[in-house]
Structure formats: C-alpha cells, structure tokens
Structure 1
C-alpha cells in the first residue's frame, strides 16, 4: 500500500512530483526552447472561396505521428464545403504561439476551430473565449482542463498507460530479468502540461504499483523533451549513465520513443526493453530486430484528425451531440503484428 501511494504521488494534480523530478538542465533547455517562437502560419488547404472557415491549430509538425494527423485532416477536408486553414506551432513549448493562432482565427472570422492543445491549462481560457462567440471547438490528441469545448477525439490515455505497463512487465520477464533483482524503468514524455501525457504516465504508474515486483522501481527523474527527438535521445543516454539498474524505458509519445530507440541502437543496449508510442521508421527497425525486446502502442491519430473535422462540420451546421469524449482506440504493435500485416 505504501508503494502504491508513493507512485500515485508522482502525478497528484498536474504532475507536481514530475515537475520536481525534472533535472535542472532539462528545465533550462525547456525554458530556452520556449523563448524561440515556432509558429507555422495558416495555409488554406481546401475550398479557399468558401464563406465558411475552419481553422486547424496543431501543436507539432515533426515526425510520422503528426503527418498522419494531417493526412486525416486533409482527407476529411475533401468532403467538406468549408475553407480549411491549417496552422500550428513547431515546438510544443510555444504555448503563446498557439494562443496567438487562436486569437487570429477568431479575428479572421472562424466558423469552427480544430485544436490539438499543447497545454491543457493555458489553452482553456482561449477555448472559452472562442465558444463565447458561438464558435464550436473540437479537440484532438489531447484535452483541456475545462469543459469549454464541444467534442474531443483522442486515445483513452489512462487505459493506454495501463496497457503499456502490462507490456513492460511481460517484456522484462521475457528478457530474463528476475523479480528478486533490483531493476529500474525510465520514463520520457514530450510535455508535462499535456493532460494526455499526464494521464498516460498516471495509468502506467498505477498499473506498475499494483503488479510489479517490489525490487522493480521507476526512475524518479522523469524526463520531458518538448517534442524534440535529439533532446529525447540525449535524455535517454543520460538516464542510462546515471541509473545503472535501468532495464526498461517507457516512451510516452513518438518523439520520446524515437529518441530512446536511437540511444539503445547507438549504445547497443540489447539488455534494455522498450515500450513506446506510435510507429516511426526507427521504431519499426527496433521491432523487427530480434536482438531487442520492444513493443509500441499505435494510436489512430489519422482518425482523430478525420473524425474531428467531420464532427466540427456537423457542429457548424447546428447539429449537437451529448457525448463529448470519443476514444479513437490503440493497437499494440510488436514484430508479429508487423509480419502479419505486411508492414515494412
């Protein structure tokens, strides 16, 4: 019971112990990144002559994950009558940039906004201002700590985190680790202010606390990389240097996973298992390499973008839904899945 409570404390409120666990150098890097604007200005991707306008505001443009999100948005845009403007930020720490884009959308006459919020707290006020103007807001990828939105399409992140912890334990056993030997698992995520990330780690920790052997621990220095793959790789390497008993990594999002994969390959750490998120090329290579033990939680991010757009279109037309949260689901991907589905 004492151990369960200790792990739960890591994510009381908005990740208070996580914030305390970040290293000083990590915080400095995050603050430096936040000072560098990274706004991607709006581009019209369909129906520029339409008198109805949808504004899409993403929180990242890097990597395979967000490419799939954009694919879903683009596919939906082909079926809609509204003009669709795509913009966002290229650095998940540029919260002010995302708020500015929300304000621009209102000023330019948006009839609806599709938002992937970079910060679950800071974007709440912007969403409220938008809805006060009777402009519907649909969230994708992550939610906000407020009810000021009309619908949200995302992964059930607590459930996904629990699934990830279950897979981690199985991989650690499969790799030959003894439940009586000291062992640690490192965790990385892109943002400690995203409710999706907080819930994902919370689900992982809750399952771990109730099911892991007493000798197996979580490294308290949970690293936050701001969606930067190079920083994720550097952090993974640092965690290995500083924690000799690490035998597993949990990468809570695509960039974290890719950074960890790159480190494990570079240092040839076949003794360290990985549970990641999403399916970048680097992650596929590890899954296909029989020397490594790895699985990844594949989200359906294209469906987040696609269904979010269709929902926003319905809201603009005056249709309402009592349901606000829609779980887009996940798939657990390992080497067998890749072979069975001919994924190369």
Structure 2
C-alpha cells in the first residue's frame, strides 16, 4: 500500500511539471524566435522610398566624381529613393565646407550618409561624431583615418600604385630609355591629406625602388600639390618641363593631376615623355587615341562605388550588415591597345 501511494505521488508531480512547461511564453525564449528580432523583420524595415540618403561627393562637376555621382543616382532611381541629397565642393581644399555638409546631414536626420572624404585625417573626427549619432556611414573612394564607419567601397590603392609604377617602367623601356641613362619622373597630386593618394604613392615608391634601374629616379622632394585645380596642375607641368632637363616621365595619381599633365604635355608637344595617369577623362582619352604619346591610365570602377555605395547605405538603414566592411572595387590599366575592348568600355562608359 505504501509503495502504491509513493507511485501515485510521483505521477502527480510529473503532471504538474509538464503543465508548467506548457505555459512558457515566447517572450521567455527570444533566442528560439529569431524572426521576431526587429532588425530581421522585413515588415519593420523602412521602405527606400521613405528614406533620405545624403551623398557627399568631393568635387562637383569633376569628370571622375560625376561618374561616381551618376552611379549613386542610378542606384537611387532603381531602389525608388525619392530623396537623394547630393552635395559637393569646388576644390579639395574646402575641408571645413565638407565638415559642415556632414553636420547638416546629421542635423537633417539622414537615414544614411555616403561620403567621399576630401581629407582622410581632417574628416576623421567629424565622421566619428556622425557615426556616434547612429546614422550609418558608407565611405567611397578615399579611406578615412577611423574605424567608425559601416562600409567602404574603394580601390586597393597601394596595389594600384604598384601597378602604376610597373606600367611607368614598361613605358620608359618601350620608349627606349636605357637602364644606365639618367631619367627622372615627376609627380603632382590633388591633396596631401588624401589617404587614397598617400597609399598610391606608397605603392608606387615600393615597386619603383624594387624594380627600377638605379639611375632612374622619382622627384620625391618636389611633389607638387594642385588642390584639384586644373590650371594649377597645368602650371606645375610647365614648371617640371623647365626645371628638369632629364625628365622622362610624369605620374598623376588622381584625375585632376592627370588632366593637368595631359594638357601641359600637349601644349608643349612633349611627345618624348611618357605618362601614367589615373582615371578616365575626355582629355586622357584623346591623348591615348592620338597615338603620339606613350601613355596609360589606371582606371577605377568609380561608377560601382557610387552605385553600390547607395545600395549599401539603404541596406544599413534597414538594419542589414554587409558581409565585408571593406570592398575592393578593382582597377584596369588602359592604353591604345585595349581602350575599345568590351571590358574597358563597360567601365569607362557605364550604362551605354
């Protein structure tokens, strides 16, 4: 009888335990219901048509940045974004103006900001402040000296600089410059504070030092800064041509510097020099197609930066994180031999 009573009490205890388990609520087990997490619920994600995305370009009207801007606008149109706010600068020296534009975007409570930093160091703290406000930040083209951003789309600029140096050596050899001959290469840049340019020069110098003949030198102590001003860049070209009788090549690691070199060399008719530039403009295309100059340009995929930059901004505003924070968009070396190839045309004339 005693054994029977114990058995009955054990059965009753088990029944109470099962009943208690059956009363647990979803709020007690959030880890088992990931679909209820706000950032993963499609119904709670803001529609792109209701978003305000700010795109802070560098130079308004600049041929390179116009392509980046077009990529951003095409992405906005495709996604149904009605309010893409585009701001920019007249020159790369207007750091304070870009700081103000960034602060304006934060004050306007933008859903996300796409930024082409005009100065990698000077823009770091303003970007820190903007990011601290909770607004997603996407960096394009130029790296910023902070980790407080959500995604970045740009060229691997150190490698691109190495590619440019390799091409410079190839062009000098093709031109017939002898390895024991004294040869100098001049450089001018758009901004001394741009991490993009700093990295390109780093890569260029590293490859050059390891591979160029000892008698070939880069004029590192006379790198000129044109602030993105084409007239300055043309003037600097003329200065180089006058000051260095052993000048054999010129290197422009950004679009404005490239256009300045192209214009200056053509005005002086210095077909004896070789040139390596960056990006693709009407000026560099004309120079390449004329066939009189030994010239190549390192072409970035800047349309992709603008296009994917806006798409990343929208996804971040919806709570989605990118698989990779830093995305290398890649480059191509373009010269007379390949300028009309399909893969080149699809980059230099996107959407056509």
Please tell me whether residue 109 in structure 1 is matched to residue 109 in structure 2.
Answer: yes
Name the CA distance, whole Å, in 2 between partners of 1:311 and 1:322: 11
TM-fit CA distance, 1:99: 0.3
Q: Matched residue of 2:138: which SS?
A: strand
Q: Matched residue of 1:335: which SS?
A: coil
Q: Which runs of 5+ in 1 are unaligned?
A: 1-48
CA contact (8 A) 1:299 1:330 kept: yes
CA contact (8 A) 1:136 1:316 kept: yes
Q: Matched residue of 1:78: which SS?
A: helix
Name the CA distance, whole Å, in 1 between partners of 2:204 and 2:132: 37
Name the CA distance, whole Å, in 1 between partners of 2:213 and 2:136: 48
Number of the residue aligned with 1:8: none
TM-fit CA distance, 1:322: 5.0
Name the CA distance, whole Å, in 2 between partners of 1:149 and 1:340: 36
Name the CA distance, whole Å, in 1 between partners of 2:62 and 2:49: 31
Number of the residue aligned with 2:333: 332
TM-fit CA distance, 1:326: 0.5
Name the CA distance, whole Å, in 2 between partners of 1:320 and 1:291: 49
CA contact (8 A) 1:63 1:280 kept: no
Q: Matched residue of 1:336: which SS?
A: coil
Query: Which has more radius of gyration?
Result: 2
Name the CA distance, whole Å, in 2 between partners of 1:169 and 1:252: 15
Bigger Cα displacement from structure 2, 82-91 vs 69-78: 82-91
Name the CA distance, whole Å, in 2 between partners of 1:145 and 1:76: 27
Cα RMSD over matched residues?
1.6
Number of the residue aligned with 2:67: 68
The alignment covers a number of residue pairs equal to 296
Name the CA distance, whole Å, in 2 between partners of 1:317 and 1:340: 39
TM-fit CA distance, 1:52: 2.3
Alignment of 1:107-256 (within 5 A): 107-219=107-219, 220-256=221-257
TM-fit CA distance, 1:339: 3.7
Please tell me whether residue 80 in structure 1 is matched to residue 79 in structure 2.
Answer: yes
- Deviation per CA, 1:217-266: give whole Å up to 9, x if none: 01120011111111111101101111111100011111111110111111
Bigger Cα displacement from structure 2, 181-190 vs 77-86: 77-86
CA contact (8 A) 2:57 2:69 kept: no
Q: Matched residue of 2:79: which SS?
A: coil
TM-fit CA distance, 1:111: 1.2
Please tell me whether residue 261 in structure 1 is matched to residue 259 in structure 2.
Answer: no
Runs of 4+ with >3 A deviation: 339-344
TM-fit CA distance, 1:324: 1.4
TM-fit CA distance, 1:50: 5.2
- Deviation per CA, 1:115-137: give whole Å up to 9, x if none: 00000011111111111111000
TM-fit CA distance, 1:58: 0.9
TM-score norm. by structure 1 comes to 0.83
